Structures are given as structure tokens and as C-alpha cells.
Amino acid sequence: MRILQVCSASQLGGGEIHVSDLVRALSERGHALFLAVRPNSPLRPLLSGVITSWHEVPMKNSLDVKSAAAITEIINQYGIDIVHAHVGRDYLMTAMASRRARKHKLVLTRHHYLPIKQNAIYRWMLKDVSAVIAVSAGVRESVVERLALPEERVHEIPNWVDPSRFQLVDRDAARAMFRLNAKLAVACIGQITPAKGQEDFVRAAARVARMRADVEFLIVGDEQDERQPFSNKLSELAAQLGMGDRLKFLGHVEFLPDLLAALDVVVVPSWDEGFSLVAIEALAAKRAVLASDVGGIRGIIKDSQTGLLVPARDSNAMANKLLWMLSDAPLRERLALQGQRDVYARYGRDQIIDRIESLYLDLLESDADEEK
């Protein structure tokens, strides 16, 4: 197949890691991969050495007509079979391109928990999409409702983990790498933004720190705004709550498995999630996970079996469950072991990419059947 992946992302996040890994896997399987990306795309370093055809397109907004025309030209010039768009602002632009291009199939992936805009333009522009991939059941329900698409065109296919990435580094070596000195380490990992719940984490951590002196806390991730307003707010809150050097801000960590090897508990305090790549990666690394009982997370973690769940935005409940986990090493070990087994069984890289590849092939086969 000749597959064009469209991704206008300018910052690196879970969705972009997903796209890069999909491109790598499909290339390994012998397909011809083409990418339409913005200049200075964060995908470039992730795909170093992978044979793909790169095409820089401005993709300024969802109604960028010039970019749509450029994508149409790529589809026609290279005889693209599948066009797959991954970022919400790319949907309409890619749909515009698709309407003017030669025969192919258009696929969208919806990663985000926020509903697609519910208006006549969206429904009309996207009514001919061949398939939508939703990363969780909740996201699938939202897409079907908002776009009024036939249910058979919206497919629930989650993100994945690659087991080969999580051959754990020695714990002591990993702790030395990140200069961790306390007996136990707890981290909140993800883009620095209010909806990821870092403020709730800081409040819960401060309460735990007052009761236990053997725990240190980490906030890991970047903030998109260069002025760092929310990061500064978190730092000020931590100082007000007397955290001192018990809380560290690590910024972006290049290779997350190294950090996960050093941790005892990973906290995912998001207010909502379409899917949580951090949660499945922590489980894959055999770490105990404490997470908000919301959206896509609820479909990943089985409470008290593969992790613990707490109500979102409830720092007191988070602190209580975290204290329980930190005081009970056998509980952490049981949750981590069962969580790792479950995530590998349900979210293994090869099996999920098999499903996406099969979807592509089914779409092309159905088109061929219609021509007979």
C-alpha cells in the first residue's frame, strides 16, 4: 500500500509518538510511507533512518485551502491508497484535499477526549470519511454522535505499547541517573497543563510528604507556553505547601523507560482522557499506577486489580490511596505484575498495528468489490 500520514503537530506528545511508531511499523512491513507535516515537525528525529517520503505543508489551520491543495497534489502525484490524518485541526483540511483527489480511502484517528465540533460544516465535510479510529469506547461514542456517521465506520482501536522498549534498566542505576535519594519515588508524567491534574498531584504529594519522610516526588513533562505560566504556578504552590526539595521538576525526559525503572508509583491525575499512553507505558514497565477514574483510563485500569483509581480532581482521595500504596510493598508488586500482564495482552504493539493494517486493507478490498 501507498500510505500518506498527515500530522500537523508542532509539539511532541503521546499522539505524535503513536504516529511515528505506526509509520515505522508499516514501513517495516513493506508499505510505502509518505508524510505531510509542518516544517520542523517533531516527527523527524523520531523517524531518523526510516525510509519515508517527507512533504512539508504549512497546515496553518483546519481551513487552510492552500495546504489542502498541496495534499491533493501529493495524493494524485504518488497514487496514494490510504490517507490517514491524526490531529483534529487536520480533519477538515484533509477532507477538502480528499474530495479533489483521485481514488483513495480517508481515515481519521481521534485521540482526544474532547468532542468533535458539532455543527453542519463538520458533518457535511466529514460525511464521506471511509473510517474513523477511536482510541477508546468513550471516544467512539462521541464520534458517532457528533458526526452522525454509521456505527460500522467508527472503529475502536486503542494505542499500544512496544514490549521491547521496557526491558527494565537496573533500578539502582536508573535512580542514580535521575539523582533520586529517598527510599521511594513517585512521579506524575505528561504535558504540563491544568487538565493533566498536576496541581492536584502537588496537593496530594504535600499531604503525603507531611506524613512520610522517605518519599520524593517528580513532575515530568514540558509546557507548550514558553513563558511557563502553569509550571511557575505549580512551583509556587509547592513552595507554599512546604515541599522544599521533596518535589523536582524534570522537564522532558527523552527515554521514558529509564525513568520508569527508577519509580515506585506513577500517578495519572488527568481530569479526563481519551486514552492514556502514560498509563499503559507505566504498566508495561511493571510500575504500580494510581490514576483518575475517567474516560479512557477507566478502560485501561481495572481498579484494585491492575492499578488503583480515584475520583478526578480529588487530592485528598489521591493522597489517601497513595499513602496506602507506599505503605504496602506487596500491594504495589501485585498491581504492577498484574498490570504488566494485562497491558501486554491487550495493547501489544504488533496486534494493534495488525488491526490498523487490516482496516486499511479491508477498505481497499471493499472498494475493489464495488467495482466488480
For 256-304, the pLDDT digits (tens) are: 999 999 999 999 999 999 999 999 999 999 999 999 999 999 999 999 9
Do the beta carbons of residue 279 and residue 301 sit within 8 Å? Answer: yes
pLDDT average, residue stretch 328-351: 96
pLDDT average, residue stretch 129-155: 94
Instruction: Give the model's pLDDT for residue 166.
Output: 84
Instruction: Give the model's pLDDT for residue 370.
Output: 60
Q: Domain residue spans in the chain?
A: 2-160+349-365, 163-347
pLDDT average, residue stretch 209-213: 96
pLDDT band at 254 (very low <50, low <70, confident <90, very high): confident
Give how far the C-alpha of residue 228 lies from the chain's centroid of Cα atoms, to the nearest Å. 22
Instruction: Give the model's pLDDT for residue 339.
Output: 98
- Cα gap 329→360, rounded to integer Å: 45
pLDDT average, residue stretch 333-357: 96
CA angle, residues 223, 227, 233, in degrees to nearest 5: 70
pLDDT average, residue stretch 177-192: 96
Instruction: Give the model's pLDDT for residue 224.
Output: 83
pLDDT average, residue stretch 122-147: 92
- Cα gap 170→160, rounded to integer Å: 24
Instruction: Give the model's pLDDT for residue 165.
Output: 85
* 162 vs 118: which has the higher pLDDT: 162
pLDDT band at 12 (very low <50, low <70, confident <90, very high): confident
CA atoms within 13 Å, Cβ hemisphere of 113? 15
Instruction: Give the model's pLDDT for residue 371.
Output: 57
The CATH code that applies to domain 2-160+349-365 is 3.40.50.2000
Residue 336 carries which side chain, given as an amino acid letter? A
pLDDT average, residue stretch 129-139: 95
State how far the alpha carbon of 15 is from the alpha carbons of 9, 11, 188, in Å: 9, 10, 18
For the chain, percent of residues with pLDDT exceeding 70: 98
What residue has cell string 510528604? Answer: 209
* 14 vs 345: which has the higher pLDDT: 345
Q: Where are the alpha helices (DSSP H) in 150-288?
A: 171-177, 198-211, 229-240, 256-261, 277-284
DSSP string, 96-151: HHHHTSSS-EEEEEE--SSPPP-SHHHHHHHTT-SEEEESSHHHHHHHHHHHT--G
- Asked if residue 359 has pLDDT above 70, the reply is yes
Q: What is the largest CA-CA distance in the chain?
A: 72
- Asked if residue 15 has pLDDT above 90, the reply is no
**Fold match between domain 2-160+349-365 and domain 163-347:** yes
Encode pLDDT of 43-64 as tens digits.
999 999 999 999 999 999 998 9
If you ran DSSP here, which 8-state letter would residue 211 be given?
Answer: H
Q: Are strands 154-156 and 131-134 parallel, antiparallel or unpaired?
A: parallel
pTM: 0.89
Instruction: Give the model's pLDDT for residue 313.
Output: 97
For the chain, percent of residues with pLDDT exceeding 90: 83
- Asked if residue 368 has pLDDT above 70, the reply is no
C-alpha cell of residue 149: 456517521
Q: Sign of torsion, CA 44 194 225 114?
A: positive
The CATH code that applies to domain 163-347 is 3.40.50.2000
Do the beta carbons of residue 333 and residue 306 sit within 8 Å? Answer: no
